[in-house]
Chains A and B, each alone.
Chain A
C-alpha cells in the first residue's frame, strides 16, 4: 500500500482535539485537549470509566459522530492525512481501506437479515476485488480469524452464531483490508472470560501478522495491560496520563490511575477479612461542567489549593510518560479513602440452606433441556459462596430454583435452616420469601422507573414485614442509611441516580425483610471499577452486620477470590468443583477450573490452557463427563463413557473428575501433597 507515507508518519496523530455535544439548547464540552500518537505497528490503549469519553474519541476518529456532536478544535491525522475535513467520497475511501473498527456488542453489530458471507463479502466488493475472487477471499479471511468451518459459517445468519463467533466475523471484516489502523472498542466486554481470552489472543496474533496499528479502548485495566504497548488514561473528557503500559500501571504518576488500580481486587491484595477495597470518592463531573483548576480536584486525595486554581498541563514525567497533575511525584502517596480495617464478622458452621439432588429439566420445542443436574450444595450461616462458570453453565437457573421462580424436578430437596422449602414461590410463606432475596446485575431493569426510592424500598418493607406505616417508614430510612445513601435521595427516581446508587437501592430492597440469604447475580459487572469496589465493601459490611449469607454469582475471578469463602464451579448444569476459596484458587484444580483460571487477562499467553470450541447445548449433553468435548486433560475412553461423581477428594473439597488428585497435582506442576499440607500456604 502507501508505504512511503507510512514510514514518515505515525499511524494516528490526535492533536488538541476538542469536541462538544449539544444537550438541549447548549453545547457542552465532551473532550478537551486530547493529544496522543499511535506509532506504526503499535498497540495503544485508551482506558477510563464510563462517561470519560473514550468511545467518543473512537467515533471522532471514524468521523461518525451523533447528530448532536461536533469537533470544535484540533486535528486527527491518519498516516499524515487530516481526516477532520474530508469529502464524503474520501471518507468512504478511508473507511474502506485505511481504518476499521470492532465494536462492543457483536450480537447487534451485524445485520440480522443478511447472511454472514454476504456481509463479509461487502468489504471485498468495496475494495474493488473482482466478483469471482471474492468468495475465496471471504473464506481466507474467515480462516485467518480461526473460524473452523468458514463455508458453513458464511451461509449462516448472525442469530445462529455465538457471541465469540460473531466477534471473529466482525474482526474478519475489520482486518480484510489490512487497515493502517484498527480500532477495537470494548471488543470483549460481555463475552465469557474463556472467549475473551481467545479473542484477545486472536487480535494479538493478527496484529503481529499484518502489522496494523491498534487503538484499543476498554474499561478493563487488565485487558489494556495485556494488549497494549502504551496507554492513555482518560477522565471527564481529558487525558490524565499517557505512557508505556508497564510504567503507567506499575509506577503510576497520576492520583486517578493510582485510585483505579487500588479499586481492583487482585491476587496480591488481601481477602475481604484482611482488608477493605479502596475506592474513589465522589462522582464524575457532569458533561460540560465549567471547572477551574484540575478537573479531578473534587475527588483527589492529594488536592492542594493550587489544584483548584490552575489546571495542570500534561507534564513530562520520568519513564517516557506525561501526567496531568501538579504533584505527580506524590501520586502514589495518595491516602486511602476507606479505612483499611475490614469489618469483623462471626463465622458459623451451621447450615443455612441445603439443596440436595437438584435437577431442572426444561422442555423446549418438545425436547428436554437439562439445565441443572445432580446439584448438592450447602450454604452456611453468614457465609459467601461464589458460583462461577461460563454463561450457559446453569448459574442463573440454580439461583432461580432457590428463589422458587423455577420449580425443580421431582426429587429435589431444598431446606432452609433444616426446614423443607416449597419449590414454588407461591407456596412459600411471607417469611420464607423475605429470607431469600436477590440483587440483579442490572439495577435498571430491576427497579420500577416510575417510583421514588422511598416507594421502591418502602413497598418491599411493607410486603415483607407487614407493619404499620410508621415502622415501615423508619425501616426504610434505616435501610437507606445502611446502604450509605443520604435522605436527599429518598424522593429521587431511579433515572436520577448513578449506576452505583441504583445498585444500592436494589441492595436496600433485598435487605428489606432481614434476609438470611441474598443471591447476588453479577451485582457489580455493569458498574465501573471505582463503584464496584464501593459496592463490594458495602456487601461485606452488611454481611458482617446482619450475618447474612450470600450466593455470589460472578465471572470476575478476582472479585470472587476477594469476597468468597467457598467457591462452586459449574459447567453444563453440574457442579464440577466445590471447595473453600483459598483451596480452589491454590489448586490442584479440576481441569475446567484450571482452564477458567488461566483465561484471566492477568496472565501471560504462554501459560494458558486454551479451551477448544464452545459450551455444548444443554439439550444434548456429551456422554460420560460433560466436559470431555473440551477438556485439555482428558484421559481416555472412561471420560467419554462414565460420568464421574462429585466426590470429596480432600476434606471439604469436591471434584467431578476421573483424574485422582495426586495426578492433577503433578499435571498442574504443583509440589506434592506433603509440602502443601500446611494450610498456611494457602
Chain B
C-alpha cells in the first residue's frame, strides 16, 4: 500500500514538474518574442540580434527549442547565462548552496522554536504565555520582511553593532563567521514563519489533549509526561509537518526579498537579477530548479506525514 502511495505521489510530482517546465518555457522563451532583441535592446543592429538568436538557438521552432532545453535539463545542462556567460547549472548550483545555508539556518531556528512555543501555548492555554505566543506570533507574521529586515539591521547592525548587516561573509570565512552573517536574515524569515507553525502546533496539541484517546491514556494511569509525549505530540505534530512543508513555498518567495535586502548571493538574488537583466536562460533554468526543489520537499513532507499516520500508510489493507 505504502509502495503504491509513494509511486503515485512521485508520479504526481513528475507531472507537476513537466507542466511547470512548459509554463517556464513559454514564459521565458516564447512570450518575450524576439529574445535576441530583448536582450540587446532597440539600438543593436539586426545582424547582432540574429547572431545572438542563432547562438541561443531561439531562431528555431518552439517545439525543437523546448525538447532541446528539457533534454538538456534532464542531463544537467541548462545552457549558458547571457549576462555571466557561464553555464546556468553552475550559477544556480552555487546560489542554491548559499540559499540552502540561509534556509537551513532559518529552519533550524524556527522549527524547534515554534513547535516548542506552540506546545507551551497549548499546555498553558489561556494564560499570559499563551497569549504572548499566539498574539505575538501572529503580529510578527503580518509584518513584511523588508520592514522587519530594516528594523533588525537598524537595531542589531547599525545601532548596537552586534551583528553584520550584510549576509555575505568575506571569502574563505569559517563556518561560524558565515552563520553570524546569516543570523539577521534568518531571524527575519523566522519572524514570519514562527506564528504560523506555532499556531498550528498549538491547535493540534489542544485537539489531541481533548481527544478521547488522551482521556483513555490518562485514566489508564499513564504519567502526564508520557501522555504528552506519546499520545498527544505524535498525533498533534502531524498537521504541523504539513504546515512546515507548505511553508517551503513561502520560504522561496521570502528568500528573494531577504536576500536582496541583505545583499546575499542566493538563488533569490540570482533570479531577481536574471529577471532584471532579461537573462532568459538563467531565469528559466533557475525557476525550473527551484520548482524541482519545491516539489521534492513537498514530496518528502507528504511521505513523512503518511508514514507517521497509519490511516494513510495502511489505507486499503484494513
Contact = CB atoms under 8 A, between A and B. Distances in A.
Interface of A: 62, 64, 88, 92-97, 100-101, 103, 105, 108-114, 122-123, 126, 157, 159-160, 170, 173, 365
15 contacts: A92-B221, A93-B221, A96-B221, A101-B219, A103-B216, A109-B215, A111-B214, A111-B234, A112-B310, A113-B235, A113-B308, A114-B231, A114-B234, A122-B217, A122-B222
Given A157-B310, A159-B310, A160-B318, A111 B219 contact: no
A159 B311 contact: yes
B219 A100 contact: yes
B221 A112 contact: no
Given A64-B215, A96-B221, A170-B216, 11 more contacts: A94-B221, A95-B219, A95-B221, A103-B212, A103-B215, A109-B215, A112-B310, A113-B309, A114-B231, A157-B314, A160-B314
B316 interface: yes
Contacts of A123: 220
Interface string B186-229: 00000000000000000000000001111111111111100000
A325 B314 CA distance: 57
Q: Rank and list the top 4 A-B pairs by shortest CB-CB distance, nearest first.
A: A96-B221, A95-B221, A108-B212, A111-B213
Given A95-B221, A113-B235, A105 B212 contact: yes
Contacts of A108: 211-213
B230 interface: yes
A101 B217 CA distance: 11
Nearest to A95: B221
A123 B214 CA distance: 14
Contacts of B230: 111, 114
Interface of B: 211-224, 230-231, 234-235, 308-311, 314, 316-318
Contact of A126 (B211, B214, B221, B231): B221
A88 B223 CA distance: 9
A97 B309 CA distance: 32
Nearest to A127: B221
Contacts of B317: 160
Contacts of A92: 221-223
Contacts of A110: 213, 216
Contacts of A113: 234-235, 308-310
A109 B314 contact: no
Given A103-B212, A159-B318, A160-B318, A111 B217 contact: yes
Contacts of A97: 221
B317 to A, nearest CB: 8
Contacts of A62: 219
A126 B222 contact: yes
Contact of B235 (A95, A96, A111): A111
B220 A122 contact: yes
A95 B220 contact: yes
A170 B213 CA distance: 11
Contacts of A93: 221
Most chain B CB atoms below 10 A, which of A96, A108, A122, A159: A122
A109 B213 contact: yes
A27 B214 CA distance: 26
Contacts of A122: 217, 220, 222
A173 B217 CA distance: 11
Contact of A112 (B217, B222, B235): B235
Nearest to A102: B216
Nearest to A183: B219
Contacts of B318: 159-160
Contacts of B308: 113
A109 B222 contact: no
Nearest to A364: B316
A96 B220 contact: yes
Contacts of B221: 92-97, 126
Nearest to B309: A113
Contacts of A114: 230-231, 234
Contacts of B309: 113
Contacts of A160: 314, 317-318
Most chain B CB atoms below 10 A, which of A88, A113, A159, A173: A113
A62 B215 CA distance: 11
Contacts of A101: 219
Contacts of B216: 103, 109-111, 170, 173
Contacts of A95: 218-221
Most chain A CB atoms below 10 A, which of B214, B224, B310: B310
Given A112-B235, A159-B310, A64 B316 contact: no
A97 B216 CA distance: 15
A95 B227 CA distance: 14
Contacts of B218: 64, 95
A389 B230 CA distance: 39
A101 B221 CA distance: 11
A109 B223 contact: no
Nearest to A125: B222
A122 B231 CA distance: 12
B76 to A, nearest CB: 38
Contacts of A109: 212-213, 215-216
Contacts of B219: 62, 64, 95, 100-101
Nearest to A64: B219
Contacts of A96: 220-221
Contacts of A170: 216
A501 B41 CA distance: 76
Nearest to A103: B212
A173 B220 contact: yes
B119 to A, nearest CB: 17
Given A122-B220, A123-B220, A112 B213 contact: yes
Contacts of A105: 212
Contacts of B314: 157, 159-160
Contacts of A173: 216, 220
A173 B215 CA distance: 14
Nearest to A101: B219
A176 to B, nearest CB: 9
A105 B211 CA distance: 11
A157 B212 contact: no
A420 to B, nearest CB: 39
A176 B252 CA distance: 54
A100 B308 CA distance: 29
A62 B219 CA distance: 7
B231 A111 contact: yes
Nearest to A93: B221
Nearest to B213: A111
Most chain B CB atoms below 10 A, which of A94, A123, A157, A173: A157
Most chain A CB atoms below 10 A, which of B215, B216, B316, B318: B216
A671 B234 CA distance: 61
Nearest to B125: A67
A466 B314 CA distance: 50
Contacts of B223: 92
Given A62-B219, A96-B220, A112-B235, A365 B311 contact: no
A26 B296 CA distance: 54
A126 B220 contact: yes
B308 to A, nearest CB: 7
Contacts of B235: 111-113
Most chain B CB atoms below 10 A, which of A93, A96, A100, A111: A111
Nearest to B311: A159
A112 B216 CA distance: 12
Contacts of B215: 64, 103, 109
Contacts of B224: 88
A297 B311 CA distance: 51
Most chain A CB atoms below 10 A, which of B212, B217, B317: B212
A326 B223 CA distance: 48
A64 B217 CA distance: 12
Most chain B CB atoms below 10 A, which of A92, A110, A170: A92
A122 B318 CA distance: 24
A450 to B, nearest CB: 23
Contacts of B214: 111
